[in-house]
Each structure stands twice: as C-alpha cells, then as structure tokens.
Amino acid sequence: MMIDNENTTILITGGAGFIGSNLCEYFIGKNYKVVCLDNFATGHRHNLSAFVDHKNFTLIEGDIRNLQDCKKAVPGATYVLHQAALGSVPRSINDPITTNDVNVSGFLNMLVAARDEKVKRFVYAASSSTYGDSKGLPKVEDVIGNPLSPYAITKYVNELYANIFSSSYGLETIGLRYFNVFGRKQDPNGAYAAVIPKFVMQLMNNESPVINGDGNFSRDFTYIDNVIQMNERAMTSQNPDAINTVYNTAYGDRNTLNDLVGYLKEYLSEFDAKIAAIEIVYGPNRAGDIPHSLASIDKAKELLGYDPQFSIKEGLKEAVGWYWNNLKN
C-alpha cells in the first residue's frame, strides 16, 4: 500500500523543537501536510522559519498539558509523531512535578485525543534513559534496569501507557528510544543544553568545555538524519510485527566524551585554527548520569529495515558546519 502523501496529514507535537522541527521540514519536503503543535516552552519560532509560510504547514500554538489543545490539533491527522516533552535529566531532578505534568499527563492527553480521532498510528519519542542502571552492553529493548531520574520514569511510563492504548483501544503505537541525538537546530543555550551544541559554542568562543567526570563516560551519539529515517520507517511500516513495540534509535557505536571533544576540536579547527589548542576542563560527575550507553539496533534493522547512514564523525562534520554558519557570534 502506497501512502498518498499529498492527502496525508502528520501531526508533529513539539514541532518547533530540535527533533520536531527537523521532522516538520523533512515531511513537508515529501509533500505531506504537516501540523505542528508547540507551546514554545523549549522550542523556537526560528526553527520553523524555513517553512512557516508553506501551504502544507499549519502551526497550532498550544500545550499538551491542556486536553482541549490536543483535541484541537489531532483532527484530520493520519499519523502523530509525538516529540513534545521536557527533556533533561537535571531539569527533572530540579523540578520533577513539571516534568511529570508534561511528559506523563501531556502524553496521556495526546493518546486520548489520538484514540478519539481514530488516528492510524502514534509514533512517540521514548528514551535511552529507560535503561537506567542496567549493566549490560549493548542495550537490548527487552532488558531494562531501574530508572535513575524522574525524567527516566516519565519516559518509561510513556511506554507503559502506549502498550495499554494498543491492547485496550487498538491504537497502533511505536516508541523510539532516542540515544543522544545531535545535529542542526539543537539549542546550545540555557541551563539544560545538550552536550554537543554546548561544547561547540564554547569552542567557537575559544572557551574551555567542562566535561562532567573524567571524560571516559561513553554514549551512542545519534545524528538527526538517522532519527528522521527511523520516524519515517516507524510511521510507514506495513509489517504487522513491527508495531506496538519500542525500538532503540541510535547508530550502534559508542564514543567517550573525550573522543567527542577530540572530534569537535578537529572539525572546528578547520574554521578557526586556534580551537585545536583549547584546554579541556574536568569537573565532578553529574547526578543521574549513567556511565555507558550503547544501543543494539538489530531489532530496528530486522523489523523496520532501519539503515542509519551517519556515524558520529559523519554527523559531526555536517553539524559543525551548520553551527559555524548559524551560531557563530
């Protein structure tokens, strides 16, 4: 069955955020009708500027914590790509109530609205934080540990609710456990900025990045284009065995923070040779951080045909060019 893109509407919640705005841009480029629901708490209008006036794009300013806003956004959508959430482990430790309101109550509102409008499929952002204190590497979807932060609890609760909505109401759901996504449009500012854009900005300003711990913690850094591919495959899959489950969304390789900074210095010094000599500063470990993360992506490859094209090095080369051209002071 081919999807008739021009007559298919995708609702992307959190569509003004980093991942959401990249999804909006991609699917508009494939002639889908795209509706974005965002309250701009962490998203930005400038992330939408390239397509905000496009005939196939609709912006609804609203908050997933308000059921009426969800009910306003869903009608007409065949698919929901639910990205709206409050990210960040430290934010959730500082303010667990707001994190829960958005990530659990807001998620439930969206599920209810999608169920009531008989949406075909609900694809949602899950998280690698769900693995918690599980020791084994690589991380395999059906072996998780105890959560290490309020954020991790909220994202696991998303999976539990999605399962119930599949089994009780017949709503097709697919959860994507994102692993350390990076790339264009990721916000380098604010107390809860992700590590890559934050380090990029510091290096471009000839400041020393501060690594939490000794730099030997490792992550499966995942370029945004791999994540876009995964969302598209989850949304369009015709494989009945592929739905109502969760998938790791990653590259399947791990790099330490020291590796990461080495790559960033190498690629950024092509724009400014002084960056190669910047010293790295090491600080204490951060609460709630897991030491190592590495995804098995076998399940996604087998059931969805996932084929990530960008390693950390390939992704960083693209990303630093974008950062230099868009964020250099």
Mean pLDDT, rounded, for 46-50: 97
Distance CA 282, CA 218 (A): 15
In percent, the amount of the chain with pLDDT more than 70 equals: 99
228-255 mean pLDDT: 98
Strand partners, 175: 124, 246
Q: Which residues of 182-217 are buried (b: 16+ CB within 10 A; e: fewer)?
A: bbbbbbbeeebebbbbbbbbbbbeeeebebeeebeb
Predicted pLDDT of residue 186: 95
Mean per-residue pLDDT for 40-62? 97
- Give me the mean pLDDT over the 199-218 stretch: 94
Is 192 in the active site? no
Going by C-alpha positions, the residue among 190, 50, 173, 67 that lies closest to residue 123 is 173
Is residue 322 included in any domain, yes or no? no
Q: Is the pLDDT of residue 328 over 90?
A: no
Let me know if 292 is exposed, middle or buried by CB neighbors in 10 A (0-12, 13-18, 19+): middle
Residue 288 to residues 90, 139, 146, 151, 285, Cα–Cα distance (Å): 8, 18, 12, 10, 9
Q: What's residue 291's pLDDT?
A: 83
Mean pLDDT for the stretch of residues 178-191: 93
Q: What is the CATH number of the domain that holds 153?
A: 3.40.50.720
From first CA to last CA, the distance across the chain in angstroms is: 49
pLDDT tens digit sequence for 269-314: 999 999 999 999 999 987 777 788 999 999 999 999 999 999 999 9
154-177 pLDDT per residue, tens = 999 999 999 999 999 999 999 999
In a domain, 282, yes or no: no
Residue 1, pLDDT > 70, answer: no
Q: What is the rounded average pLDDT for all residues in the chain?
A: 96
The amino acid at 268? L
At residue 288, the pLDDT reads 75
Quote the domain boundaries for residue 234: 5-179+224-252+295-310
Residue 166 lies inside a defined structural domain of this protein: yes
The answer as to whether 275 is a domain residue is no
pLDDT > 80? residue 2: no
| Residue 286: predicted pLDDT | 79
Overall average pLDDT of the 109-137 stretch = 97
Which residues lie across from 281 on neighbouring strands?
Answer: 210
Give the residue-averaged pLDDT of 38-44.
97
**The pLDDT of residue 190:** 81
Among 187-191, 208-212, 301-305, the range of highest mean pLDDT: 301-305
Q: Are 69 and 62 in contact (CB under 8 A)?
A: yes
Identify the burial level of 224 via C-beta atoms within 10 angstroms of its C-beta, where 0-12 means exposed, 13-18 middle and 19 or more buried: buried
Our count of domains for the chain comes to 1
Q: What pLDDT band is residue 193 in, cutting at 50, 70 and 90? A: confident
The answer as to whether 193 is a domain residue is no
Q: What is the pLDDT of residue 204?
A: 96
> What pLDDT is recorded for position 329?
67
- Read off the pLDDT band of 130 (50, 70, 90): very high
Q: What is the pLDDT of residue 285?
A: 86
Residue at 159 is within a domain: yes
Q: Answer yes or no: is 241 within a domain.
A: yes
Catalytic residue among 151, 156, 178, 251: 151
> pLDDT-based confidence at 192, cuts 50/70/90?
confident
The 10s digit of each residue's pLDDT in 56-107 is 999 999 999 999 999 999 999 999 999 999 999 999 999 999 999 999 999 9
Q: Is 122 a domain residue?
A: yes
pLDDT at residue 37 tops 70: yes
- Dist. CA 248–CA 134, nearest whole Å: 15
